Amino acid sequence: MASNVLTKRADATTKGNLVRVKPEPEAPKPKKGRGFSLFALLDKYANVDALFEHGVPLKFMPHVLFLTGITLFYIGNTHFAEKTIRKIDKVKIETEDLRADFTTLKSEYMEASKQSEVARNVAPLGLIESSSPPYQVIVPEDEY
């Protein structure tokens, strides 16, 4: 006969709402004396076994789900904040590089726009610097 086929056993008792028999407590195990343990303290002072005697208490489920949701939100918020901080650091480094490039280009432009540099750069084109000072052209008012 196949092992996955359900058969009715002759000694099967009828199922119904029966009183659950509480197992007798076992004799306490001797302590190892290893030192301080947080879980041993929790087990000693928090009577968690009494909560789960008759199964999972559903009256605490909304609170557990609420705390789980808050915890997930907190973890997600932390990851988002760390990612934002990494982006800010990357932008700061890029800004410093651009500021250094700007300063270099500005100093090169100021150097290239000096009168002596301009005169040296246009000399191959045949342009020379004027030796006479500029003069003002005066136009009489009746010419307009």
pLDDT of residue 128: 87
Reduced DSSP (H G I as helix, E B as strand, rest coil) percent helix, strand, coil of the chain, to 5:
55, 0, 45
pLDDT tens, N- to C-terminus, the chain (144 residues): 455 555 555 555 566 667 777 788 887 776 666 667 888 888 788 877 777 778 777 888 899 999 999 999 999 999 999 999 999 999 999 999 999 999 999 999 999 999 889 989 999 999 888 889 999 999 998 887
Grouping H, G, I as helix, E, B as strand and the rest as coil, residue 30 is coil
Report residue 117 as tokens.
């540099």
Question: Which residue is associated with the tokens 């610097």?
Answer: 129
pLDDT of residue 88: 98
